[in-house]
Amino acid sequence: MIYSHEELLGHTRLPLTIAEIILFIIIIYLLLAVGGKWRIWLGALLLVYWIVLVAGKFWPPPKVAVPKSPLATKIAVREDPTTANFVWSSEYRVGFWWHFFPAKKYFLIYNRALEEKILTQDDFIIPAHLGDQDLALVHSRGYLLRLYLLAFTPMGFINGENPISWYILKKLKVACGGTYLACKIALEQGIGMNLGGGFHHAFAGHEEGFCHLNDMAVAIRKLQVERFIDRAMVIDCDVHQGNGTAAIFQGDDTVFTFSIHQDDLYPYQKAYSNYDISLPGSMRVDDENYLEQLKVLPDLIKKHRPDLVIYLAGADPFKEDRLGGFLLTKQGLMDRDAYVLRLCADRGIPVAVVLGGGYAPNINDTVEIHLNTVRMVNRLLN
């Protein structure tokens, strides 16, 4: 049987990456080989590095107690006084020319939104990066140390499907800041959108599926700690299950996680969301089937009563996507966006939108789908 690139990621997932296994073999060779003290010293140094690197994956997640004090009485006022609803930064541009993830889409979406006069420069606000103290509300200290060790050494470039460098880590922190800012905009004006984010495969203690930091989880926890929200809901409409987000909030009744995804697809070991709609590729899910499944959302929203919704508008349910098996058209995906966003608007629930995945053979199709989400948000605002 021949597996696709995405299937290989799921079927060959190990506790250690191939690079970590190879490094361990090199360390053993250096420590056991005959000759020269330098071998022993180098082997010992690399062994310490390797232990810290691997231990970061198994570090216990942080225990964050959400304060019980009353919610902030004032709106989550932004530092910038403009009325911009869209978040984007030039830091979102990452030179992933050698990676499967089409990171250049972030710049293309921004560029086309301006070129086609869907938005103007005044519609955008630039986010600040989030610091380690904010990230540690979700991610373990050991894992953050692991990311730094990878980012500052060549090991980061061969870290499986999740390569990282200091350059990339810095941009990821800005993207997390973008989702947090989009949430603050939503609390202030009803709707905000980050032209990035949606890193739903990142767990509290390890990276996975092209995701290193879970921007949505960090934004929710930060807003809870700051007492701007009590309860939140994540509506994940990526074709892949948001396993990282689901795992982070398992057992937490203040955050409701919803995911509609393809069942026979990465990640093959699913986490448990509060509500999963897991559909097989053989079902040949089209626009009509997909929208029918979403009709459970009104009751779920009514039951959970969120102060904020984060909507992950993935582009990969598209019928031509290389890493998905759903058959949605661009119009169907736009109808999906309209349904979710109007559902929140009609109930007066602030909603922050993030992008998620998209892997069409022609990147312009992915960009067009994300741009349609921008159009829908802008239409609701106007």
Residue-wise pLDDT for 287-297, tens only, equals 999 999 999 99
pTM > 0.85: yes or no: yes
Q: Which of 371, 316, 295 is closest to 115 using CA atoms?
A: 371
Condensed to tens digits (0 to 9), the pLDDT of residues 307-316 reads: 999 999 999 9
Decide: 55 and 142 in contact? Cβ < 8 Å: yes
Mean of the per-residue pLDDT values of the chain? 90
Condensed to tens digits (0 to 9), the pLDDT of residues 116-126 reads: 999 999 999 99
Give the mean model confidence (pLDDT) for residues 200-214.
Answer: 94
- Say yes or no to pLDDT of 189 above 90: yes
Which CATH superfamily hosts domain 67-139+166-381? Histone deacetylase domain (3.40.800.20)
Band the pLDDT of 84: cuts 50, 70, 90.
confident
- Say yes or no to pLDDT of 48 above 60: yes
pLDDT for 6 equals: 42
SS3 call for 258: strand
Band the pLDDT of 96: cuts 50, 70, 90.
low
Length of the chain: 382
User: Alpha helices, DSSP H only, in the chain?
Assistant: 5-11, 18-32, 37-55, 105-115, 132-135, 141-151, 166-189, 215-225, 243-248, 287-293, 297-304, 330-346, 363-381
- 30-48 b/e (C-beta count within 10 Å ≥ 16 → b): beeeeeeeeeeeebeebbe
